[in-house]
Amino acid sequence: MPNVPLISRLSPWFSRLWHLPDDIRWMDPLPPSHRRGIIAAALLILLAFLWPAPAPQRTVTPIQSGATDVPLQAELSDAPPPPASTQQQDSQGEWHDFTIASGQTLAQLFRDNNLPVNDVFAMAQVEGDDKPLSTLHAGQAVRIRQDAQGVVTGLTLAGADGEILFTRQPDGTFIKAQ
């Protein structure tokens, strides 16, 4: 086929494609023009799903440095940050007072103050049927005792029957006292 025009080579292919819906039996009640329209719409929808989405445009807004002395970078240190709470010292460590925020769990309180969350799970194993650690409410006071190394050695909170104390044992587990 050295000198056959392109249109004459494509013409039988287009003709077969045009009459392809005529052989689809489940579309028999429909006229040929509707069959072709359904197939064209299905191909268009398939193409729309497969078309790549444009990359999201990200805008960078420069920060204007004003007359404030706020540092733009955080300083990292290995020392735990001082908790935003009042502190009291006793023979087994330093007590820190916290207040539960709305929707906050005890695990979130520990995470927010860089305390080991595993201690919450250890206390939950001995919390009992009244579940004082699981039923915290907004505004409830929680006191956490830490030793000089930052290890949580105790936790107190107000329960239905008064103040509840969780104390760390030498083996790392906690006991509950009321």
pLDDT one-digit tens code per residue, 63-99: 555 554 555 455 555 555 444 445 555 566 888 899 8
**98 located within any domain:** yes
Give per-residue pLDDT as tens, 135-146: 888 888 899 998
Strands 87-90 and 93-99: antiparallel
- pTM as predicted: 0.48
69 in a domain, yes or no?
no
Q: What is the CATH number of the domain that holds 117?
A: 3.10.450.350
- Note whether 38 and 98 are same-domain residues: no
Decide which of 50 and 89 is more confident: 50
Same domain for 167 and 95: yes
Structural domain containing residue 99: 87-177
Are 113 and 162 part of one and the same domain? yes
Same domain assignment for residues 25 and 105: no
Q: Is residue 81 part of a domain?
A: no
**15: helix, coil or strand?**
helix
